[in-house]
Chains A and B, each alone.
Chain A
Amino acid sequence: MEKKTPLYDTHIKYGGKIVEFGGFLLPVQYGSGVKAEHMAVRTQCGLFDVSHMGEILVQGERAKDYLNLILTNDFTDLKPGFARYSPMCNEDGGTIDDLIVYMKAENDYFVVVNAANTDKDFAWMVEHKIDGVDLSNVSDKWGQVALQGPNADKILHKLVDDKYIPAGNYTCVFDGDFQGIQVMISRTGYTGEDGFEIYMPADKAADVWEMLIEAGKEDGLIPCALGARDTLRMEAAMPLYGHEMNDEISPLTAGLGFAVKMDKPDFIGKAALEAGQPLTHRRVGLKVTGRGILREHLDVYKDGKIIGHTTSGTYLPFLGSSYGMAIVDSEAREIGSSCQVDVRGRMVDCEMVKLPFYKREK
């Protein structure tokens, strides 16, 4: 049975159109629609319920060694109050999940994983646990909202003292105070805009939501849902687990080499990733130059031959055009070259382009 997040009743109240996602009942859009929600995040601000995400505590005197073993990124120099993104690989170099590690203190880490993968991840982490590490899945205890957009900083400052608001990208403040509610605030997100992710006890999620909506009204804040979350992450070319990567697609193929530290002494999947070089397939961006909308799982052709398939695709509201991402033969992957995508029997012309499609001005 699908679970409800602590904000389910709030979504109904705000007119959310509810769908099942990752085992949870969540809104796909509110009354204003996906395009308006998308544009609000790019130009003003949007508020998302992301309570479905999983939270796992990694604690103990060997916590850092353990993270370095099971994750591809390097946590040796991560400091308290900072966050770091990483894929987690299986022995074959496939991707079990991608996640964010927040360092609270020495030997104390807070790991946030994809909703649909929480149980799988936790089982894998327990299976590969080493002595001196304690793991706990605290997903049900936490609610989480994402406040995203150029006005996010201004809106949050109306409710939270500056000392609890993380200043730098990928930093976080544990034990913050949000109008009397104990919260963790990180300067992270999944939209390509500036913004925050705010974690609170599940029973306080609705209070935090209502206070943010009220405080943000005059700065254009509107509730946003899964539909816009997907178009926003697509526009920023952020990979989505189950699309750009999965148990069989390595993070290198997915273009996440920046978070795979092959110079670390060892980590699960390293040998397979080394053996898989040079890469036979890689992720690429596609811009539609003909007429049509790309979706996932479509064949990509070049010179009449199939060279790969799309992993995501849609109309991107801010750029005002149709784009997709695909995993294609490395040899056929040439930025600026043209290819065709089979959209339900119709060949649609595309151009291979650099990622991301959209990058905010800083």
Chain B
Amino acid sequence: MNTPKELKYSRDDEWIRYEGEEAYIGITDYAQSELGDLVFVNLPEVDDEVVAGEALGDVESVKAVADVISPVSGVVLEINEDLLDDASLINSDPYGSWFVKVGSIGDNVELLSADEYEEYRG
């Protein structure tokens, strides 16, 4: 399991990377591995609000669908349209494949460090 130290993690298997007042959100290596070959992604639209602990979109593998739970509340500034064309990017590079960039960040769910997340999913 690949777990970069510089990221924070949620117990719902999302990662978050803060850049100043904004943050990028994606799903972890563990999540993509559990889901298997990803074939489809549903993303919110720019300017949509996301709420900490609630679904911001979903990902589908050949066999299953899973909600992507937002670790923070905020407003969507940007979406990664590459994932709409090719969801398998998430399998090959889960930490490069951000789903959304969020600003106006308010609440967040409990976030774990890389070590804590590895222990949680280890």
Contacts and interface: CB of A to CB of B under 8 A. Distances in A.
Q: Do A and B come from the same complex?
A: yes
A33 B92 CA distance: 13
A125 interface: no
Nearest to A315: B39
Given A34-B63, A315-B60, A315-B62, A29 B36 contact: yes
Given A293-B65, A295-B65, A34 B36 contact: yes
A230 B65 CA distance: 16
Contacts of B63: 28, 34, 227, 230, 314
B36 A227 contact: yes
Interface residues of B, number: 12
A283 B65 CA distance: 25
A346 B65 CA distance: 14
B40 A317 contact: no
Interface of A: 28-29, 33-36, 227, 230-231, 291-293, 295, 314-315, 317, 322, 344, 346
Contact of B40 (A33, A34, A322): A322
List 7 tightest A-B contacts by C-beta distance, closest first. Answer: A315-B39, A35-B37, A34-B62, A293-B60, A33-B37, A293-B40, A227-B63
Contact of A231 (B62, B65, B84): B62
Contacts of B36: 29, 33-34, 227
Given A33-B36, A34-B36, A35-B37, A317 B62 contact: yes
B65 A34 contact: no
A33 B34 CA distance: 11
Interface of B: 36-37, 39-40, 42, 58, 60-63, 65, 84
Contact of A315 (B40, B42, B58, B84): B40
Nearest to A38: B62
Given A227-B62, A322-B40, 15 more contacts: A34-B36, A34-B63, A36-B37, A291-B40, A291-B42, A291-B84, A292-B40, A292-B42, A293-B60, A295-B65, A317-B37, A322-B39, A344-B58, A344-B65, A346-B42
| Chain B interface, >50% SS class | strand
Contacts of B40: 291-293, 315, 322
Nearest to B58: A344
| Chain A interface, >50% SS class | mixed
A34 B40 CA distance: 15
Contacts of A36: 37
B21 to A, nearest CB: 32
Contacts of A293: 39-40, 60, 65
A358 to B, nearest CB: 15
Contacts of A35: 37, 62
Contacts of B62: 34-35, 227, 231, 314-315, 317
Contacts of A291: 40, 42, 84
B11 to A, nearest CB: 22
28 contacts: A28-B63, A33-B36, A33-B37, A34-B36, A34-B37, A34-B61, A34-B62, A34-B63, A35-B37, A35-B62, A36-B37, A227-B62, A227-B63, A230-B63, A231-B62, A291-B40, A291-B42, A292-B40, A293-B39, A293-B40, A295-B65, A314-B62, A315-B39, A315-B40, A317-B37, A317-B62, A344-B58, A346-B42
Interface centre among A227, A293, A344, A346 (most CB of B within 10 A): A293
A346 B42 CA distance: 11
Nearest to B87: A315
Interface centre among B62, B65, B84 (most CB of A within 10 A): B62
A35 B60 CA distance: 13
A295 B62 CA distance: 10
Nearest to B61: A34
